[in-house]
A and B are shown apart, each in its own frame.
Chain A
Amino acid sequence: MRPTYMPQTDVSARALQKGSAEFLVLAVLDGPQRHGYEIAQLIETRSDGRLKFPAATLYPLLYKLEKRGFVEGRWVEKAGQRRRRFYRLTAAGRSALGERRKAWQSFFEALDRVARVKPA
C-alpha cells in the first residue's frame, strides 16, 4: 500500500497504521453496512483524530478488499439522496477479521509483556 498522507501523526504512527489499515477497515465494517465517507469518519472519531483515512488511502484499500472477496459494495439509492456505495463484510471478510483480531491480540499481549503497553 502507498504511504498515507497524515500531517498530524509522526512516522512511526504512520507505519503502524500502514500495517493495520486493512484490519481497521474490516473492524469498522463489523456491523451495519457503511459508505466510504462514513468508514473514514468512524475511524477518525474512534481514534480521536489520531488515525485518518483520506480518499487516496481508503478507496484503493476498499477496492482491494473487495477484489479479495472480504467486503462487498453495492450502490444504494435513497429517495432524495444521491446514490452511494455501501460496503459490508462478507463471510470471508468476517473470518479474516476474526483471525486478525486474534493475531493482534496475541501480538499486543506479547508487546505488553515485553514493553509494558496495554492495548486500548
Chain B
Amino acid sequence: MSEWHGFVRRHLPPLGIEPTREIEIVDELALQLESAYESAKARGASEEDARAQASVEVPDWAALAATLARIERPTAARPTLGSPRAVGFMSGFIQDLRYGTRALMRSSGFAVVAAATLALGIAAATIVYSLVDGILVRPLPIHEPDRVVLARELTPQGVDMSLSWPNFVDWQARATSFDGVAAWRGIPSNLTGIDTPRRILVRQVTWNLFSVLGVRPLLGRDLTSADEQYGVDRVCLVSYGFWQRELGGDASAIGRRITLDDTPVTVVGVLPADFTVARQEDAFLPFGNFYPPGHFMLARGNHNGIALIARLRADVTLDEARAELAVIARQLAEEYPNTNSGQGATVQPLMEVLVGPVRTTLTILLAAVGVMLLIACVNIANLLLVRGATRAQELEIRLALGAGRWRVVRQLLTESVLLGVLGGAAGVALAYAGFDAALALLPEDQPRLHTVALDGRVLAASGALSIATGLLFGLIPALQAGSRGGAALLRSARVSGAVGARQNTRRALLVAELALAVVLLAGAGLMVRTMGNLLAIDLGFEPSQVLSARVSLPPARYPAAARLDFVSRVEDRLRSLPGVADAAFTISLPVQGSNWNSVFIVEKLPVPPRADLPSAAWTPVTPSYFQTMGIRLLRGRTFEASDRLGVPEVAVVNETFARRFWPNGDALGQRIKQGWPEDQTPWRQIVGIVNDVKTAGVDQPAAMQAYLPMAQVPQTSLTAVVRTQDDAPRLAGPLESAILEVDATLPVYDVRTMDQVIERGVAQQRLLMVLLVGFGGIALVLAALGVFAVTAYSVSQRRHELGVRIALGADRGGVLRLVLRQGLATCAVGIAIGLAAALTVTRVLETLLFEITPYDAPTLAGITAMLLLVAGAACFVPAHRATKVDPVTALRAE
C-alpha cells in the first residue's frame, strides 16, 4: 500500500458508512493524490513541490468527508445547521444513530431477542414502580403530610384498638403535642334517592378535620362546630369525584340534598380533586350530629372505629407525642378503671398507618424487579460480547481507518442505548397492557390504590431506566471492542485457540447472571411453598361454590322485627332459586375478620380482673348458616327456628372456646354472658359445639368464637351466603335481585365467592408469589439463554482445538463430556454464589412466609436441581454440536 493511503487515512475523518465502501473511497483518493504527485515529479517538480501539488487536490478534508458522507448515505436528511464542522457532535450522534439502526437491522434476530428481554424487564419495572410510586412515594394530598399522625388505643394485651368517643374527647383536651386534634370514623352508607341505590364510602369526622389536615373546600364551605350539634340539619362535604359523578359537577350542587341511610343530608362543600386520604371516600359528615347524649356510641367502653388524627407541633417529635398520649392513657385508666384499665396509646405517622402493611411487599417486589432487570442487562451484555466478537473485523477496519477508540465506543454505546430505548418502548406498551391485571392482584381496599397510575412521572422513570440499562449492558462490551488490544486479541485468540480475556468476561457475567437468578428463584420458590401451605390449610368450612353478598338495613326503617322479617323473606327467595342448595345470613364471613369482638364472662368460673377478661368473636347467624358454609357440628345442636326473641338465649361455640374453659368436661349446658360483668346482657346457654373456623385470616390461628341465633340478636349489617350446586359466580345476579325484590332501596355490595374472599385474605402473598414466579421464570429463561450463548461461542472458538483432539483419537463422547463439564462448572459456581446470597436475602421475606423458613432446604435444593437441569440442557446443544466437528474441515479452516 502506498504512503498516500496512510496520508488519506490520517486526513479523512471517518465517514460512518459501510466499511468496505469507505476503503474503496480511500483507495481512489489515494490513487488520485499519488498520480498528481507522480506527474508533478515527472514535470520536474521538487519533492516538496510535488507533495504540495498533490495536497492541493483536497484542500479541506472535513468538508470532503461531510460531502462524501452525504452522498453515500442517500436516505440521510441533510444537516441543516451550518457547516459540517460546526454540527460536530450532533451530526456525529445522528450518524451513530443511523449506523446503529442499520447495524441492529442487519442482526435482527439478536435485536429482537435483546429488545424482548428488555421489554419484559422494563414492563415489570414500570408496573412495580407505578405501585411503589403511587402507594409509598407520593406525598398525601394534605398540608405538610409528614406532621400528620394517627393515634389509637392499645388493649391491655398491646393490640391496636379504636378510640372510644369520651377517650378521644379527653385526649383532645389534654394533649399539648399537637397543633390540632380531630377524629374520623369510616362508616359506609347507603346512598338512595337515585336510580340504583349504592353503597358509598362515608367518614364521620369532627368538624375541624379539614383544618387539621390543611385542606380547604374547592367549593362551598368547611364544616363548623355548629354542624356537629345533635339535632341540627345534617350536612356533608363531598369528594370531587362524588360531585362529578352524582351531582353534575356544577356549583348548584352546593345546597343540594342527598339521602344517606334514609336521612336527608345537605351538601355544603366540595373537596379538591386530589383530596383522598386512604381510599376514595365519597362524603364526610359531622360525627356529633349522629348521636344524642347517652347514645351507646358515646359510651367510654365502646370502641367503635374512631381514630384520632392530629398535626404534630413543629417543635414536638413523634416520640414526645407518644410519651404524652401514653401518660394521658394512664391517667384515664386511673380515672375510669372500669373501662380503661390497662389501656395504652399508639401514635404513628398517618402515611405509615395507610401503607405500612404493604411496604415490605412492595419493597421486595421493587428489589426483585431490579434483580430481574440486572439479569436482563447481564444477559444482553453477554449477547453483545458474543456479537462483538463476530463484528471484530468490522470494528478493526474502522479503527484502522482512523476512527478513534472513543468514537467506536460511542458508536457501540449508541447502539445499545438504541436497543434499550426500543426495549423500553415495547416494555411500556406491555406495562399498559398488563397494568389492570397487576392492579387486580392488590386487594381493592388497599389504601392509596387509587393514586397508582401509569402517568408522566412513571413513564419518565421508565424512559430514564431504559437509557440507563442500555448504557449498563453496553458499557463492558463497548469498552472491550473499542480497545485495539481487544481486537488484536480476538484475532490471536482465533489463531491460537486460546480462550482469551473476553471469554473470561463472558463467564464472569454468566456466573453473575446465574447467581442473581438463584436469588430470584429462591424467593419465588418460598412464596410458592407459602401459598401452597396457605391454601392447604383446613379453613374449617367448605369455601367452594359459596357466594356471598352484603347489605345494610337502615336502623330507623328496620326495627328488630322488620330485620328478622327481611332476613327470612330473602332466605326463602334465595332457596327457591334454581341451583341454590342452601342460604343463610351472618354478620361476619370467615377469613375476613370478625365484625364483633367482645369480652365475656363464664358462669361458675371466677371473674378475672377487667384487663384479663377473655374475648371472643361474636357471630349472630341464621340457623342454616352452619350447613350452608359446611361447618361441622361436633356436639349438641345448632340453631333452630324456635331459638327466637323471648325464649332463653342460646349460643354455639367453637372447639377452641370449649377447650379453653372446659378442657375435660362438657361445655354443653354451660352459660356465658357477652359484655362486661356489670352489663345488662343475658346469660346464654351453650347448646352446641362446632369445629374451628379461620375467622381472623387464613394465616391466623383460630380464636374463640361464639355464634348466636340472629333471631335473638337481630342485626342491620348483614351478609347473605348461598351454597350453589354448580357455578357460584353465575348466581351473583339472581342473589342481588332476590334482595332487591324484598327492598329495592338497599344497595347490595361486596358480591363475592368465598374463594375470592380467601384470595383477598392472602392477597399480599399471592401478589408476591405471582410476580416473583413471573420474574423467576423470566430469569430462568434468560439464564438458559446466557448459558447457551456462552457455551456455543466457546465451542465455535475451540473448533480447531476440538478438531485436533478428535483427529488425535479422542472419542466423541469424551468431547461431549469435556464441553458439558466446562460449561456446567461455570454454572455451578454461579449457583453456589447465588445460594449463599439467597440465604441472606430471602430473610426479608420472613414476615410473609407461612409455615416455612427462609432457609427451607427442599426449596433451595429444588431450585438448584432445576437450574442445573436447565443449564445442562442449554450446554448440551452446543456440546453435542462440538462432537460433530469434522477434524479435517476444522484444521483446513486455519
Neighbour of B71 across the interface among A36, A56, A60, CB < 8 A: A60
A18 CB within 8 Å of chain B:
no
A100 CB within 8 Å of chain B:
no
Shortest distance from the beta carbon of B457 to any chain A beta carbon, whole Å: 48
Binding site for A on B (CB under 8 A): 2, 24-25, 27-29, 31-33, 35-36, 56-60, 63-64, 67-68, 71-72, 74
Query: Contact: A36 with B58, CB < 8 Å?
Result: no
Query: Contact: A85 with B56, CB < 8 Å?
Result: no
DSSP majority for the A interface?
Answer: helix
Neighbour of B28 across the interface among A5, A36, A56, A64, CB < 8 A: A36
A24-39 to B contact mask, C-beta < 8 Å, 1/0: 0000000000011100
- Complex CA–CA separation, A54 to B72 (angstroms): 19
Residues of A within 8 A of B71 (CB): 60, 63-64, 67
Shortest distance from the beta carbon of B15 to any chain A beta carbon, whole Å: 11
Extra 20 A-B pairs, beta carbons < 8 Å, given A54-B59, A59-B28, A75-B24: A5-B56, A36-B32, A37-B31, A37-B32, A37-B36, A54-B56, A55-B57, A56-B59, A56-B64, A59-B25, A59-B32, A59-B68, A60-B67, A60-B68, A64-B71, A67-B71, A67-B74, A82-B2, A82-B31, A83-B27
DSSP majority for the B interface?
Answer: helix
Shortest distance from the beta carbon of B216 to any chain A beta carbon, whole Å: 68
Query: Contact: B74 with A5, CB < 8 Å?
Result: no
Residues of A within 8 A of B74 (CB): 67
A84 CB within 8 Å of chain B:
yes
Shortest distance from the beta carbon of A37 to any chain B beta carbon, whole Å: 4
- Complex CA–CA separation, A112 to B24 (angstroms): 44
- Complex CA–CA separation, A64 to B56 (angstroms): 22
Residues of A within 8 A of B2 (CB): 82
A113 CB within 8 Å of chain B:
no
Residues of B within 8 A of A85 (CB): 24, 27-28
Residues of A within 8 A of B72 (CB): 63
Shortest distance from the beta carbon of A54 to any chain B beta carbon, whole Å: 4
Residues of A within 8 A of B32 (CB): 36-37, 40, 55, 58-59
Q: List 21 A-B contacts (CB under 8 A).
A: A2-B63, A36-B31, A36-B32, A37-B31, A37-B32, A37-B36, A54-B56, A54-B58, A54-B59, A55-B57, A56-B58, A56-B63, A56-B64, A59-B64, A59-B68, A60-B64, A63-B71, A67-B71, A82-B2, A82-B31, A85-B28
- Complex CA–CA separation, A85 to B74 (angstroms): 21
- Complex CA–CA separation, A33 to B68 (angstroms): 23
Shortest distance from the beta carbon of B26 to any chain A beta carbon, whole Å: 11
Query: Contact: A2 with B36, CB < 8 Å?
Result: no
Most B CB within 10 A of own CB, among A2, A56, A83: A56
Residues of B within 8 A of A2 (CB): 63, 67
Residues of B within 8 A of A35 (CB): 31
Query: Contact: B24 with A56, CB < 8 Å?
Result: no
Residues of A within 8 A of B29 (CB): 55, 59
The A61-102 residues at the B interface (CB cut-off 8 A) are 63-64, 67, 75, 82-85
- Complex CA–CA separation, A56 to B60 (angstroms): 8
Residues of B within 8 A of A55 (CB): 29, 32-33, 36, 57-58, 64
- Complex CA–CA separation, A18 to B109 (angstroms): 47
Residues of A within 8 A of B24 (CB): 75, 85
